[in-house]
Amino acid sequence: MNIEETLAGLRRGAPASLKANVELGTGLADGVSIFESPVGELAVTFNPHGVSSVSLAALDFEDYFADRFGRRLIEARPPSGWEKLINRGIEAGNPGQLPLDLRGVTAFRREIMLIATTIPRGEVRPYQWLARQAGRPGAARAVGSAMANNPIPLIVPCHRVVRSDGSLGAYSLGGADNKRVLLAREGFVSTEG
């Protein structure tokens, strides 16, 4: 059976589980599972390319995901072995061997996100540092935008990126308070109140 026949069968009313598996396997939808973290439950989405997003589960993450990525979500378990890697990524604040789906970000943002993964646990770097590492020393604001729009916060550790004056700044995964919690858990002591 080719893909056209499979899709035609789905349109005719194939069983919901088969339809969900085909949508997930072909990239028409992403899977979502809930994971625990130091800042609460996280909705972690994934597809055959890797983890595609992380958001607070308390938020309306399904609408957020559909608006941002144009795909729907299906409650599913991650592929074999990924659950352990996701938990490790959440704990370490780094993807390690976990595959990431960065197809939805520009080449510059992808580079900045990958540079952010090199920041050691318990340390921070200013936006300007990431810009220099990327060979674009004048792009600190663009780096800030990349971090603000990081689809995989915590696993891609944008919480370790701060303003040049050392202040923590905003955080896309629940605000500055969550950023402070994550950094404190890693042993970083902020001078901010």
> Catalytic: which of 86, 131, 140, 158?
158
158 is catalytic: yes
Token reading at 107: 């080449």
Burial pattern 25-61, b for ≥16 Cβ within 10 A else e, equals eeebbbbbbebebebeebbbbbbeebbbbbbbbeeeb
DSSP conformation class of 72: E
Q: How many CA within 13 A on the CB side of residue 123? A: 9
Helices 107-116 + 140-148 axis angle, to 10: 80
Residues 6 or more apart whose CB falls under 8 angstroms from that of 68 comprise 53, 104, 151
Record the tokens describing residue 155, joined without a space: 């696993």
By annotation, the residues acting in catalysis are 158
